[in-house]
Structure 1
Amino acid sequence: MTTTVAERGRNRPDLGKLLSDNGALGGLVVLVVALSIMAPTFLTPQNLLNVGVQAAVVAVLAFGQTFVIVSGGIDLSVGSVAALSGMVAAWSFTEAGLPGWLALVAGLVTGLAAGLVNGVMVSYGRLPAFIATLAMLSVARGLTLVVSDGTPKSTPEEITALGSTIGDYLPVPLLVMLLVFGLTGIILTRTYAGRTMYAIGGNADAARLSGINVRRSTLVVYGLAGVFAAVAGLLLAGRLASAGPQAAVGYELDAIAAVVIGGASLSGGVGRATGTFVGALVLAVLRNGLNQLQVTPFWQQVVIGVVIALAVLFDTLRRRTK
C-alpha cells in the first residue's frame, strides 16, 4: 500500500512536539550526563540507588499532589500531614500499645482523615484550596507536636521495614515509589475518578453541567492526596526508624515543584504520572549531584529555585504556543 506525501508528513515525528511533551525527561537526561562528567562517582550503581531512595518520599507526595493540581486545586498541607501520619503511627505503637500493623493502619487513616477534611472545606465550605490547605498545614503540624510532646518516637518493625533493603541492592522505598507511580497512572488514565479530575480542572462549571458531582469528586481528590501523604510519612519514618515532630518540613513545596517540573499546569486540567515521576527524579538528581560537587545547601536552594522558575516559565510558553 502506498502513502501520500501528506500521510507521510503526518506520520513523521514532530521534534518540537516531542520536546514540548517530554521536556522534563530531556532535562533529566542532560542533567545526568552533565553530572556524570563533573562527578565521576555519580553514575555508580550505589549512588543511583541512593537517588531513587532520596526521591521516594517526595515522589509519593507529588503523586498525590498531581491529583489535586490536575483537578485545578493545590494542597499545601501534604508535608505536615505526612509528619502527623508517621507520628500517629509511632505513638500508637509506643504509647497506645497497638500492634505494629495496626499502628501502620492508624497512620494511613490519619492521612485519609486530614485529606477528607481538606476536601470538605474546599468542596462544601467553598474555601479557596490555598487557604483551606494552609490551615491544615498549621493544624497538622501543631497536632504532630502535641502528640509527640516535641520528641521523636520509635517506629515498629512493620514501619521500619519500609526503609529497609531486600537483599543487598533493592531498597523498599524504591519499590513503594514504583508501585504508587503505577497506581497513580492507572487512576488518572483508566478510571472514572481520573477522568473527572481532568474535566474539573479543565472547566469545573462545564463538568458540573455534564453531570459530574464536582463536590464528591473534589472530596475523593483530597482524600487520595491525604492517603498518599500518609504513605510518604510512613516511608520517611521507616527510613529514619523514628517519627520526628519536624519531619517533612518544606516537602509540600518539593512535591508541587515535582508536579510542575513534570509538565502539569497550575491552572488545572493538565498533568501525568510519568511527568511527576520525572520531576521528582530531577529534584533528587539535582540535590544528589550538587552534594557530590560539594555545593553548600544555601546555594542548592538557589539552584533548585531557578530550576522551578524555569519549569513554570516553560509551561507558560508552551500553553501560549498551543
Structure 2
Amino acid sequence: MNAPASPASAAPRPTPAWRSQLGTYLGLLAVLAGMVALFSTLSEYFWSAETFITIANEIPALAVMAVGMTFVLIIAGIDLSVGSVMALSAATSAAAIVQWKWSVPAAALLALATGLICGTVTGAVSVAWRLPTFIVSLGMLEAVRGGAYVVTDSRTQYVGDAISWLAAPLLGGISVAFLIALLLVVAAQLVLTRTVFGRSVVGIGTNEEAMRLAGVDPRPVRIIVFAMTGLLAGLAGLMQSARLEAADPNAGTGMELQVIAAVVIGGTSLMGGRGSVVNTAFGVLIIAVLEAGLAQVGASEPSKRIITGVVIVAAVIVDTLRQRRAAAA
C-alpha cells in the first residue's frame, strides 16, 4: 500500500525564475512581432530598412531614461521629472556651447552633472522628509522646467553639429546614441541581477522593513537610484540635442509618461519588487513601433493617444494575469 504523500511533496512547486522570465521575453517578442506584421500589412512603406533605422535612431533618449525608471519603479518609487531634467540638461549644455563658449566635453559634463544633481535632490528630499516620491518629483518637474526656460531665455538654442557625433550613423545607419543605449541596457540588467546593489534594490521594493531588519539601510540605495535616473536623463538630453542639433526648453514635455509606459509594458510592477531592464527595452520598442506605425497609417493625434493608452492598460492586465497564473502554478 502506498504511503500518503507528505505535505511537502503535495505542495505545488514554484515556477523557476528563468522559465518565468523566458515566458515574459517570448510574450513581449510576440507582441512586437505582431505589431510589425500588422503595420506592414496596413502600410506598404513600414516594412523597410529605412523605417527600422529611423525607429532605432529615435529611441535612445527614451531608452536610457527608461533604464533609470526601471530601478525607480522596482523600489516602489516614481520620478515624474525625467522629461524636464532632460530638457534642462540639454539647455545647460547648449548654453555652455553657444553662450559661454565652453568646449564640447565640458558642456557634456555639465549636462550630466545637471541631471545627476536633479536626481540626487529628488531622492534626498524624499528620503530625508519621508515624502512620497510622486509629490517630490512633481515639484521637481515644475522647478526644473522653469530652470530650462531661464537658461535658454525661453528660446531654442541651436548647437549645430557641435555634438552631432552622438547622432552620427555607424553600422548600417545606426547611430552612436543607439549603441550607447544598447550597452546601458546590458550593463543595467547585469547590475540588477548580478550585484549586491541590484539585489538590494529588489529587496527594498519587495519588503523595505525586512531589508532594514537584515541590516541594509534603504536610504542611500534610494538616493543612488534617483541620482542614477537623473544622470541618465542628463545623457538623454545630450542625445536629444545631438539628434535635433538644438536644445528646446519645451523638449520632453509629457515624456515622463512615455518612459513610465515603456517600463510598465515591460512588466515592471508599479508596486515595486519586480522588474527587468531587458523587458523595459522591449517596452520601449513596442511604444516606438506603435507610434511609427500609427503615423504611417495616418492616424490622428487623438487616435494615437487613445490607442497607446489602450495598449498600456492591456499590457498591464495581461502581465497581471500571467503573474497570477505563475503564482498559482
- Which consecutive unaligned segments of at least 5 residues does structure 2 have? 1-13
User: Aligned match of 1:23 in 19, 24, 27?
Assistant: 27
Match of 1:42 among 41, 46, 65: 46
Name the SS for the 2:31 alignment partner. helix
Residue from 137, 154, 171 that aligns with 1:133: 137
Call closer, same or farther: CA 1:17–1:58 in 2, change over 3 Å.
Answer: closer
User: What whole-Å deviation, never above 9, does each CA across 1:129-179 have from its counterpart, x for those lacking one?
Assistant: 100111111111010011111001123745222122237623222212212
Deviations 1:243-281 (A, max 9, x none): 001001111000000000001100011111110000000
Q: How far apart are the structure 2 equivalents of 1:127 and 1:177?
A: 31
Tell me, yes or no, if structure 1 residue 255 matches structure 2 residue 259. yes
- Which residue of structure 2 aligns with residue 68 of structure 1? 72
Secondary structure, counterpart of 2:47 in structure 1: coil
Distance, in Å, in 2 between the alignment partners of 1:122 and 1:207 is 19
- The one-letter amino acid of 1:184's match is A
Residue of structure 1 equivalent to 2:296: 292
Which residue identity lines up with residue 80 of structure 2 in the other structure?
L
1:104–1:158 CA contact under 8 A, matched in 2: no
Whole-angstrom CA distance in 1 between matches of 2:117 and 2:319: 33
In the other structure, the counterpart of 1:109 is: 113
Q: State the 1:184 CA deviation.
A: 1.4
CA distance in 2, matches of 1:34, 1:61: 28
Counterpart of 1:6?
Answer: none
Q: Number of matched residues? A: 313
Instruction: Return the offset for 1:18.
Output: 5.3
Matches within 5 A, 1:1-322: 19-20=23-24, 22-155=26-159, 157-166=161-170, 169-321=173-325, 322=327
Letter in 2 for 1:47: T
State the AA in 1 paired with 2:109: V
Which letter maps to 1:204?
E
One-letter amino acid of the structure 2 residue matched with residue 112 of structure 1: L
Amino acid across the alignment from 1:183:
A
Letter in 2 for 1:85: S
What residue is the counterpart of 2:4 in the other structure? none
String of CA shifts for 1:41-86, please: whole Å, max 9, x gaps.
2121111111111222211111110010111111111000011001
Gaps of 5+ in 1: 1-9
CA–CA separation in structure 2 for the residues paired with 1:145 and 1:218: 29
Task: Please give the alpha-carbon distance, in whole angstroms, between the structure 2 residues aligned to 1:26 and 1:307.
Answer: 14
Report the Cα offset of residue 211 of structure 1.
1.2
SS at match of 1:211: coil
- Alpha carbons of 1:146 and 1:17: their partners in 2 closer, same or farther (altered >3 Å)? closer
Q: Distance in 2 between matches of 1:118 and 1:315?
A: 30
Shift of 1:23: 2.6
Separation in 1, partners of 2:192, 2:21: 22
1:271 aligned partner, one-letter code: G
Distance 1:35 1:156 in 2: 34
Answer yes or no: is the 8 Å Cα contact 2:89–2:238 preserved in 1: yes
Query: In structure 2, do the counterparts of structure 1 residues 20 and 172 end up closer, same or farther at CA, with 3 Å as the change threshold?
Result: closer
By how many angstroms is 1:305 displaced?
A: 0.5
TM superposition shift of 1:295: 1.0
User: Which stretch shows the higher mean deviation, 108-117 or 26-35?
Assistant: 26-35
Q: When the two structures are superposed, what TM-score results if normalisation uses the length of structure 1? A: 0.92
Aligned residue type for 2:78: I
User: Matched residues in 2 for 1:113 and 1:315: separation?
Assistant: 34
1: distance between equivalents of 2:251 and 2:124?
A: 26
Q: Contact 1:94–1:153 at 8 Å: present in 2 too?
A: yes
